[in-house]
Chain A
Amino acid sequence: EPEVTQTPSHQVTQMGQEVILRCVPISNHLYFYWYRQILGQKVEFLVSFYNNEISEKSEIFDDQFSVERPDGSNFTLKIRSTKLEDSAMYFCASRETGGKETQYFGPGTRLLVL
């Protein structure tokens, strides 16, 4: 069964450093999402992406964040200058089109900012 994959599974970085989190969505999906989950809290929407552009972003997704689909398979989230409060699990999700609303999530990347 096709699934969303994410790399790396864990990332430790120093405050102020740039990180890039990578996702490979399910191959026939056209809508892509990033969510984050701070330890012990609920999953929060960050950004949605369709047709090579951001369709919606939350207030969390400030100028330090960017997304890109550099080729036909990868979908990346970049944090330019990480802060301590960026420590969280980051989940990528994707869904089909044509009225199919179900979003399928990847296993996540655990980001720890020191």
Chain B
Amino acid sequence: GESVGLHLPTLSVQEGDNSIINCAYSNSASDYFIWYKQESGKGPQFIIDIRSNMDKRQGQRVTVLLNKTVKHLSLQIAATQPGDSAVYFCAENISGGANSKLTFGKGITLSVRP
């Protein structure tokens, strides 16, 4: 099984800088990917998603990049703000049907310095 621990990797950025959060996913059959933001004591909040037929998708201040060759997903946040401080999780699934369970990555803590 996977090793898990109490300490998540942390990315510390200066307010106003751009942030890049990376994720490696495990299942080459996955065709749908989501980034979630989780603030302390709250549930995962949807940020942006991407299907496997795309390699880039942009939202408001956020961009998701997908590299299927190396099974890598990244989240770019432009002009990072203090309110962006949270734990960020990528999640993958195989879309369609009644299942579509999400498999989450381990999470990265984003800390924004004022």
Q: Residues on A close to B: CB < 8 A?
A: 4, 6, 31, 33, 35, 39-45, 48, 50-51, 55-56, 58, 91, 93, 95, 99, 101-108, 110
A40-B6, A44-B104 in contact; A105/B99 too (CB < 8 A)? Answer: no
The contact sample of 21 A-B pairs, CB cut-off 8 A, is: A4-B43, A35-B102, A40-B6, A41-B6, A42-B89, A42-B104, A43-B44, A44-B104, A51-B98, A55-B97, A55-B99, A58-B101, A91-B43, A95-B100, A102-B34, A103-B102, A104-B46, A105-B43, A106-B43, A108-B42, A110-B41
- A101, B89: Cα distance in complex, Å: 17
- A102, B44: Cα distance in complex, Å: 12
For residue B114, give the distance in angstroms from its CB to the closest CB of chain A.
25
For residue A33, give the distance in angstroms from its CB to the closest CB of chain B.
7
Contact between A42 and B100 (Cβ–Cβ < 8 Å)? no
A91-B43, A102-B34, A104-B46 in contact; A45/B98 too (CB < 8 A)? Answer: no
